[in-house]
Amino acid sequence: MSGREFFQKRYEQIGWKLKEVNLKQAIRVNQTYSKEKNLVNRLSGLGLHLEKIPFLNNGYWVLESRVSAGATAEYLLGYYSIQEAAAQIPVSLFSNLKGKKVLDVAAAPGGKTVQLSDLMENTGVIIALDVDKRRLNALGNHLERCHVANTVVYLLDARQVSTLKLKFDRILLDVPCSGNFVTDKNWFKNRTLKDIERNAKLQREILTKAIDCLADQGEIVYSTCSLEPEENEVNMDWAVKHLDLQIQEVDCYGNEGLTSVFGKQLDSSVRLCKRIWPGETQGFFVCKLRRSKKDESKGNY
Amino acid sequence: MKAKAITNFLSGLGVPLVINPDLVIEKNGRYYLTNPVLKQIIRQDFFYAGVFLGKVKNGKFFPSFNLLTMISKKGANRIIIDKKSAWLFICGRDILVKGVIRILGPAKKNSNVLVVNEFGECLGFGKIVGNLSNKERSNDVAVQNVSDIGDFLRRER
Ligand SMILES: C[S@@+](CC[C@H](N)C(=O)[O-])C[C@H]1O[C@@H](n2cnc3c(N)ncnc32)[C@H](O)[C@@H]1O
């Protein structure tokens, strides 16, 4: 159960016609560190012409570039990061990040850790975890380049997060996933339904362990760059039914989450998730969660 | 003091210790500056924490760009270079006498000096090997590149 035709048929069943997508390069300005630097003009002077991405606060499309966006002095000085447009959405869904204790469970290579730190204005604490040491080195470079000062990184499986004995106000679950064909040329050749099911199971395990560390009133953002409902809506349906979590309404780019998937009816609140089919951006999925009210009051007894 | 290597490096650049040694932690020869909040929750087996300050290898200290940026704001010895030299410097090249716009500090031969662009941004540091103000030998190397921010790209290769 694999191959382009197999997945194409699946996407058609859930309402999307497969099309080729040419991904536009995007950057995200690190506001805290580049304040008053007149960055957009400076970059335009170098031949890097930008256009504001209408659905993001600090994101710009790279329209035209005479220089590589990843090799300017401004990039090396940490004034901006190269971050795909849809990948800028999950972190932007948290409220009031300043001074908070934040968990980033699958953090490497760190695009979203740096974004979190930027929105926190380098206050509070981020605990960033990953299991891949090579990718953690890249994360360390990214933190150094962008002058991040509020993060502690561990080489740790997210499913062991309780060993840190901490409670978090915000948890980012940018979970390991199957990815999508836009960012991986060989995606259809390499991926099978079995992989997807295996990833979906790992995602549920990570989610289950992470919520044990969620402070009352805490917020979770779950995201993947997978198009497969098993890793997205179906997992969120499971979370609502098994983990006493409630899906929150979010105001961001994307379509409603699917509530009917391959003949299975999901909880109606799953429509509050956002599914982003490839087009303007790569494929993506985001969902914001909180403990359900009844669960919060349980904790108070 | 565990941050001795750092102190020595800083005094060579004409700046006193600008960090609180109690907040400096070390792991495998790599030094990090934490803050009271991080210090309280950090576990021994961390991989990276707070601000990376640099590493000690074979007794020699290699500063991070975070540390260089911190001290460039604290009056460390530095030279300001022109746009073209700035570009060449981050590509790993040395600085010629003609590229130096201003010298701040004693600029003694064989000493280290921060390298700063026209916007006052620290691009790295180097070792003074020539006479920085001898305009008659403007094509001579003035400062040998020791470390520049282009290293972020070289590391990822
Ligand atoms: C989608 S990527 C994360 C991207 C990252 N959040 C960013 O914005 O740069 C998923 C990451 O999960 C990591 N990972 C896989 N299994 C994990 C586990 N059990 N615990 C923690 N991280 C894991 C992978 O090494 C990979 O770096």
Q: What is the pLDDT of residues A54-63, one digit of tens each?
A: 999 999 999 9
Residues of chain B below pLDDT 50: 1
Residue B6 token pair: 């750092």
Alpha-carbon gap, residue A92 to A259, rounded angstroms: 24
The boundaries of every CATH 3.40.50.150 domain in chain A are: 85-298
Interval A159-174 mean pLDDT = 98
Q: Rounded to an integer, what is the distance from CA B65 to the centroid of its chain? A: 6
Burial level of A171, CB count in 10 A (0-12/13-18/19+)?
buried
Burial level of B114, CB count in 10 A (0-12/13-18/19+)?
buried
Distances (CA, A) of A294 to A237, A243, A244, A298, B157: 18, 12, 8, 6, 51
Helix (H, G, I), strand (E, B) or coil at A263: coil
DSSP string, B82-133: -HHHHHHHHTT--EEGGGEEEEES---TT-EEEEE-TTS-EEEEEEE-S-TT
Interface A–B counts its CB contacts (< 8 A) at 74
The boundaries of every CATH 3.30.70.1170 domain in chain A are: 24-83
Could you state, in order of their start, the residue ranges of all structural domains in chain B? 4-71, 77-155
B48, B64, B157: best mutation site toward chain A, by most A Cβ within 10 Å?
Answer: B48
ipTM > 0.90, yes or no: yes
Alpha-carbon gap, residue A111 to A88, rounded angstroms: 8
CATH number listed for the domain at residues A24-83: 3.30.70.1170
How high is the pLDDT of residue A296? 54
How high is the pLDDT of residue A37? 72
In Å, the largest CA–CA distance within chain B is 58
**Atom of ligand 1 minimally distant from the CA of A202:** 19
How high is the pLDDT of residue A246? 97
Facing residues of A52 across strands? A60
Q: Look up the CATH superfamily of A85-298.
A: Vaccinia Virus protein VP39 (3.40.50.150)
**Atom of ligand 1 minimally distant from the CA of A87:** 8
Res. A286: pLDDT tops 70:
yes
Residue A228 token pair: 């497969």
Q: Which of B46, B64, B155 sits opposite A152 (nearest CB)?
A: B46
Q: Look up the CATH superfamily of B77-155.
A: PUA domain (2.30.130.10)
Alpha-carbon gap, residue B108 to A16, rounded angstroms: 68
Residue A263: pLDDT band by 50, 70, 90 thresholds?
very high
Q: Residue B23: its chain A contacts at CB < 8 A?
A: none
How high is the pLDDT of residue A299? 41
Counting residues of chain A whose pLDDT is more than 90, the rounded percentage is 93
Q: Rounded to an integer, what is the distance from CA A76 to the centroid of its chain? A: 23
A39, A77, A135, A157: best mutation site toward chain B, by most B Cβ within 10 Å?
Answer: A77
User: pLDDT tens, A127-155?
Assistant: 999 999 999 999 999 999 999 999 999 99
